[in-house]
């Protein structure tokens, strides 16, 4: 072992947001607002969709949806949000 980085106390440094915080909204393909969701949920959905070849087109569509948080209301593409900082 020993290859794990030391866990620093939670501070707004590398991780700008809590992955489990349900603060994200998005519009589904029908144009309905969905949420609040967490980044952890988005990652789980994408992982599950990626396992099913029949969902490939939907997966690509989902990755490119715009999501926004309730604090700043700034909109970003979901795939941007999921990239490691």
pTM of the entire predicted model = 0.74
3-36 residue pLDDT tens:
665 554 444 434 466 899 999 999 888 889 999 9
Look up residue 83 and give its two tokens.
Answer: 């990239």
57-74 residue pLDDT tens:
999 999 999 999 888 888
């Amino acid at each position: 072992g020993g290859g794990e980085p030391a866990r620093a106390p939670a501070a707004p440094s590398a991780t700008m947001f809590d992955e489990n915080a349900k603060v994200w909204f998005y519009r589904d393909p029908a144009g309905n607002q969905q949420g609040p969701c967490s980044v952890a949920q988005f990652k789980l959905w994408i992982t599950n969709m990626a396992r099913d070849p029949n969902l490939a087109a939907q997966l690509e569509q989902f990755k490119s949806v715009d999501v926004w948080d309730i604090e700043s209301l700034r909109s970003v593409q979901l795939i941007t949000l999921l990239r490691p900082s």
